[in-house]
């Protein structure tokens, strides 16, 4: 009888241990599913921050706005003379198109089961909404790519080179702080830029960063990053990552001239890149985007997964090239948003992608 009780005791002990183990694994998996995680430009998109047209105004002049190239050149007079005027008042028709297009993108993402967070500038304090207004008038929360940098399980608050865009950090911070109540992530910030905005300061934003696993590409020079920013990012990420600068000319962001669609396939405007690409991209196939099309943001696409891409419907030729290579292409109107200075990739920042 004693031997029987002993066997029953050990059996119950084994059941308890197995139960604890299974429960721990379940909780670990649950926690992993909540984890902020973006390692590549591809992988199934599951959660994003997406911009909003709310409070969109015409940007005022500041010396780091480049009038010489791209879409900024066309709007020099408007920037100089109407900076700070709400677009809804200055050009109601254009504002209506911008709002409709970015809200349509939100609906497309949500229909695919993607969790979408939107900035809420109406919840910002008056002091936040007027931050840096003495240096540059204007407000925009359209392009959520830039104020945030997500690499692996890290969320990094960016350092933006245009004073008016500093407000976006406050709106993004509110989303991230709420997200951290339910998700695992490391949260940090690039050192704040001096209000003097010196050329040698640490500048780094999400539009200038492209992810390829442990290889991180940063566009430089430009109006959005600096040598000091590249160095800071390498030091911050540590030896597990290699941060490589890709030299670009006449464009603000790397994602205007380079996109990675899936392993081995990308888009490139070779005319805008000086020097060689990193060796990790040497054997990739790239669809060539002409310079004038790159200036209209043809490279700036939204990758849903390795097999699906959203593009601006103006670029039918690009859709055909992607389909030839096995991609499913979703085409939506986005010309009004791009007129404001950014495309489909610029409008969103992934918080979670599932690789594989």
- Locate the domains of the chain by residue range: 46-354
Report the CATH number of the 46-354 domain.
3.75.10.10
**DSSP 3-state assignment of 170?**
helix
Reading the chain (356 residues) residue by residue, the pLDDT tens digits are 555 555 555 555 545 444 544 454 444 444 445 689 999 999 999 999 999 999 999 999 998 776 544 444 456 778 888 999 999 999 999 999 999 999 999 999 999 999 999 999 999 999 999 999 999 999 999 999 999 999 999 999 999 999 999 999 999 999 999 999 988 899 999 999 999 999 889 999 999 999 999 999 999 876 689 999 999 999 999 999 999 999 999 898 999 999 999 999 999 999 999 989 999 999 999 999 999 999 999 999 999 999 999 999 999 999 999 999 999 999 999 999 999 999 999 999 999 999 75
Q: CA 207, CA 210: separation in Å to the nearest integer?
A: 8
Q: Please give the Cα distance from 74 to 79 (Å, whole number).
A: 10
**Which tokens hold the place of 115?**
């969790």
HSE at residue 283, side-chain half, CA atoms within 13 A, is 2
């Amino acid at each position: 009888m004693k031997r029987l009780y002993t066997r029953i005791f050990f059996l119950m002990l084994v059941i308890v241990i197995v139960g604890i183990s299974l429960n721990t694994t379940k909780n670990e998996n649950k926690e992993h599913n909540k984890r902020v995680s973006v390692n590549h430009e591809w992988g199934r998109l599951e959660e994003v921050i997406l911009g909003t047209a709310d409070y969109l105004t015409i940007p005022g002049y500041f010396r780091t706005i480049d009038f010489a190239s791209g879409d900024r050149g066309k709007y020099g007079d408007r920037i100089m003379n109407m900076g700070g005027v709400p677009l809804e008042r200055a050009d109601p028709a254009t504002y209506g198109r911008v709002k409709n297009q970015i809200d349509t993108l939100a609906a497309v993402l949500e229909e695919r089961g993607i969790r979408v967070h939107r900035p809420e500038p109406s919840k910002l304090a008056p002091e936040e909404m007027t931050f840096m207004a003495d240096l540059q008038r204007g407000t925009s929360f359209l392009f959520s790519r830039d104020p945030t940098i997500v690499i692996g399980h890290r969320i990094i608050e960016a350092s933006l080179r245009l004073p008016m865009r500093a407000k976006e950090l406050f709106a993004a911070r509110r989303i991230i702080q709420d997200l951290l109540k339910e998700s695992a992530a490391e949260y940090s910030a690039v050192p704040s830029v001096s209000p003097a905005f010196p050329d040698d300061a640490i500048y780094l934003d999400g539009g200038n960063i492209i992810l390829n696993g442990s290889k991180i590409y940063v566009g430089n020079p430009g109006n959005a990053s600096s040598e000091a920013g590249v160095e800071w990012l390498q030091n911050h990420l540590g030896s597990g990552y290699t941060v490589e600068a890709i030299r670009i000319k006449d464009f603000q962001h790397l994602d205007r001239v380079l996109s990675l669609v899936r392993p081995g396939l990308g888009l490139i405007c070779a005319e805008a890149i000086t020097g060689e690409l990193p060796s990790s991209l040497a054997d990739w196939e790239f669809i060539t985007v002409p310079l004038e099309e790159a200036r209209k943001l043809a490279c700036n696409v939204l990758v849903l997964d390795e097999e699906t891409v959203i593009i601006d419907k103006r670029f039918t030729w690009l859709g055909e090239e992607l389909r030839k290579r096995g991609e499913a292409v979703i085409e939506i109107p986005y010309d009004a948003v791009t007129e404001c200075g950014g495309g489909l990739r610029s409008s969103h920042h992934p918080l979670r992608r599932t690789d594989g």
